[in-house]
């Protein structure tokens, strides 16, 4: 899921399309060591789930009359997704409304700027998966990774070999009981998601996160595909650009291109020492591993979101009145979500993006401040914190031109005696301490 229009990017730091954590997280296995470990230890079995036309499915559940018509979900002037009926008419994700209407004049549009229903359904899916096995990691709103190695091991001890459910990439026919059992579990989980929540989706079954994600969309919608190790290089070779590799984001791809690489095979063959000169030893090794389908990163149980945020982007905002109104609007829905969550936020952050022709992606600036305990849960619209933070960043005596505002509550802690509504999520093994953010500076709202 890429980011667009109203898509949140900072909730629980989970909507990170570039998988930055994946690039830096784990030590790199060279092909040699990975071969050794796969002989010594049983393989992991990792599932990746990606729901079909997610926002459109949620809208079709809310209004079943939309099921059999071509449906587009609109944010601003973009179709962020559309159902598969619309796709048959040539409508695609991220098409402009004008183009989509041209392709399919009967296209029915629903507004998708309010993410409430999508978010709620998204957490229901994660919650359902967690009820089968706690090792579930969210990626964006409609994707989840799951490490089912233990379930598979247990089942294999109890039963004889089993056959593959769904597709096997490249129709390979080699026996692999681990992955075959993984495909059975994936089919059961997809069935549970369908019978309990009414949602369909695709699954990928493989030995690591990278491969599971890459293989899951091979057959769409509502199908699943297993990748055997003998087909890893086929799958990697089928990717037509570096950007298709999860872990290689926009910026990384640009830097690789500047070094003369355009395809995955270019990266595979590129000298490690030169790559290390550009990215550092560990990231360079990591990149070279990704190119050949090696990924040792763990499925990190997501747990409850670390922060709640909301944002909106626009072409131009340049008056204090408009800014204040937008902040109030964003805060009112955020405060409601915060109340539903049940925890108490201790930090408030305001983020803006100034208009820039050159640096669209990195021109976000933010300031944060502690939320004084006497405000506590009473944090409401019209509170002065946002205003103060805004004036710390923007000199309003001069002209300004903003294109985005984001409000965020973080440092969420349980309120004594009031368990969080989402406390059913597995807690992180070692909760991260909120560090004072030196680059953004702590501001005392009382000063």
Q: Is 204 helix (H, G, I), strand (E, B) or coil?
A: strand
**Long-range own/partner contacts, residues 73-76 (CB < 8 A, 24 or more apart):** 73/109, 73/110, 73/111, 73/112, 74/109, 74/110, 74/111, 74/112, 75/4, 75/5, 75/6, 75/7, 75/111, 75/112, 75/113, 76/5, 76/6, 76/113
- Helix (H) or strand (E) run with residue 34 in it: helix 31-40
295 contributes a contact to Mg ion by CB under 5 A: no
- CA 14 – CA 309 distance, rounded (Å): 12
Are 261 and 245 in contact by the 8 Å Cβ rule? The answer is no
Between 189 and 330, CB nearer to Mg ion? 189
Does position 81 interact with ligand TTP (CB under 6 A)? The reply is yes
| Residue from the set 23, 79, 80, 85 that interacts with ligand TTP by CB under 6 A | 80
Work out whether the CA dihedral 287, 290, 296, 301 comes out positive or negative.
Answer: positive
Name the one range near Mg ion by CB under 5 A: 51-59, 187-195, 319-327, 420-428: 51-59
Cα angle 143, 368, 399 (rounded to 5 degrees) comes to 100
Q: Given candidates 25, 93, 346, 392, which one binds ligand TTP under the rule CB under 6 A?
A: 93
List the strands of the sheet with 307-317, edge to edge: 307-317, 402-413, 344-354, 364-370
Q: Please, which residue, 214 or 323, has the CB nearer to Mg ion?
A: 214
Tokens of 321: 């009145």
Closest CA to 249 of 19, 50, 25: 19
β partners of residue 409: 308, 348
How many residues belong to the site for ligand TTP (CB under 6 A)? 19
- Asked if 61 interacts with ligand TTP (CB under 6 A), we say no
From the list ligand TTP, Mg ion, none, partner contacted by residue 93 (C-beta under 5 to 8 A by kind): ligand TTP
Cross-strand partners of 349: 368, 408
Among 143, 191, 281, 365, which one carries the catalytic annotation? 143
Applying CB under 5 A, which of residues 50, 137, 147, 312 lies at the interface with Mg ion? 50
**216 versus 307: smaller Cβ distance to ligand TTP:** 216
Is 2 a binding residue for ligand TTP by CB under 6 A? The answer is yes
* Contact pick of 54, 348, 390, 400 for ligand TTP (by CB under 6 A): 54
**Stretches 51-59, 151-159, 251-259, 269-277: which one binds ligand TTP (CB under 6 A)?**
51-59
Of 309, 388, 384, whose CA–CA distance to 345 is shortest? 309
Nearer to ligand TTP, 1 or 283 (CB): 1
Shortest Å, Cβ 431 to ligand TTP = 28
Q: Considering only residues 134, 221, 249, 342, which one is a binding residue for ligand TTP as defined by CB under 6 A?
A: 221
Q: Comparing C-alpha atoms, which of 256, 274, 276, 281 is closest to residue 266?
A: 256
Q: Which stretch binds ligand TTP (CB under 6 A): 47-55, 247-255, 282-290, 429-437?
A: 47-55
Residue 48, beta-bridge partner list: 145, 204
Q: 333: helix, coil or strand?
A: helix
Work out the burial of residue 174: count CB atoms within 10 Å of its CB; fewer than 13 is exposed, 13-18 middle, 19 or more buried.
exposed
3-state SS assignment for residue 412 = strand
**19 sits near ligand TTP (criterion: CB under 6 A):** no
Q: How far apart are CA 26 and CA 164, in angstroms?
A: 30
Among 11, 14, 15, 52, which residue interacts with ligand TTP (rule: CB under 6 A)? 52
Give the contact letters, 107-146, x = binds to ligand TTP (CB under 6 A), - = no.
----------------------------------xx----
d(CA 239, CA 373): 52
- In angstroms, give the least distance from the CB of 215 to ligand TTP: 14
C-beta closer to ligand TTP: residue 142 or 296? 142
Contact region for Mg ion (CB under 5 A) — 46-54, 214-222, 311-319, 378-386?
46-54
Q: Is 102 designated active site?
A: no
Binding part of the chain for Mg ion, among 3-11, 136-144, 286-294, 348-356 by CB under 5 A, reads 136-144
Interface residues with ligand TTP (CB under 6 A) are 1-4, 7, 50-55, 80-81, 93-94, 141-142, 220-221
Binding-site ranges for Mg ion (CB under 5 A)? 50-51, 54, 142
Catalytically active residues, by annotation = 143
């Amino acid at each position: 899921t890429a980011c667009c229009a109203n898509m949140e990017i900072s909730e629980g730091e989970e909507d990170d399309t570039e998988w930055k954590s994946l690039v830096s997280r784990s030590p790199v296995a060279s092909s040699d060591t990975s071969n050794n470990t796969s002989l010594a230890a049983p393989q992991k079995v990792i599932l990746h789930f990606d729901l079909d036309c997610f926002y459109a499915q949620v809208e079709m559940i809310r209004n079943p009359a939309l099921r059999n018509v071509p449906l587009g979900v609109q944010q601003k002037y973009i179709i962020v997704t559309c159902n598969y009926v619309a796709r048959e008419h040539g409508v695609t994700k991220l098409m402009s409304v004008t183009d989509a209407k041209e392709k399919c004049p009967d296209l029915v549009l629903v507004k998708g700027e309010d993410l409430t229903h999508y978010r709620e359904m998204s957490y229901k899916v994660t919650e359902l998966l967690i009820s089968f096995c706690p090792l579930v990691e969210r990626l964006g709103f409609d994707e989840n990774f799951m490490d089912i190695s233990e379930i598979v091991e247990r089942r294999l001890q109890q039963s004889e070999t089993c056959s593959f459910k769904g597709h096997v990439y490249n129709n390979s026919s080699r026996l692999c009981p681990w992955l075959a059992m993984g495909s059975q579990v994936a089919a059961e989980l997809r069935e549970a998601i369908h019978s309990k929540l009414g949602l369909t989706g695709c699954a990928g079954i493989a030995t690591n996160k990278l491969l599971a994600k890459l293989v899951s969309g091979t057959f769409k919608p509502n199908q699943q595909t297993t990748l055997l190790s003998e087909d890893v290089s086929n799958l990697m070779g089928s990717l037509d650009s570096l950007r298709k590799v999860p872990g290689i984001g926009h910026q990384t791809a640009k830097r690789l291109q500047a070094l003369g690489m355009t395809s995955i095979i270019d990266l595979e063959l590129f000298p490690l020492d030169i790559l290390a000169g550009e990215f550092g030893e560990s990231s360079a090794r990591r990149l070279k591993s990704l190119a050949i389908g090696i990924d040792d990163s763990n499925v990190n149980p997501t747990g409850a979101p670390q922060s709640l945020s909301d944002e909106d982007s626009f072409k131009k905002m340049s008056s204090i009145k408009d800014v204040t109104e937008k902040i109030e609007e964003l805060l009112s829905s955020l405060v409601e979500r915060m109340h539903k969550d049940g925890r108490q936020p201790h930090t408030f952050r305001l983020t803006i993006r100034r208009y820039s022709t050159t640096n669209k992606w990195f021109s976000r600036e933010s300031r944060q401040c502690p939320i004084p305990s006497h405000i506590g849960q009473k944090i409401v619209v019209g509170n002065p914190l946002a205003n103060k933070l805004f004036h710390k960043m923007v000199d309003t005596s001069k002209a300004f031109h903003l294109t985005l505002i984001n409000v965020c509550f973080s440092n969420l802690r349980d309120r004594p005696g009031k368990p969080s509504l989402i406390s059913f999520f597995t807690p992180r093994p070692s909760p991260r301490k909120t560090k004072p953010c030196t680059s953004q500076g702590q501001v005392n709202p009382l000063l």
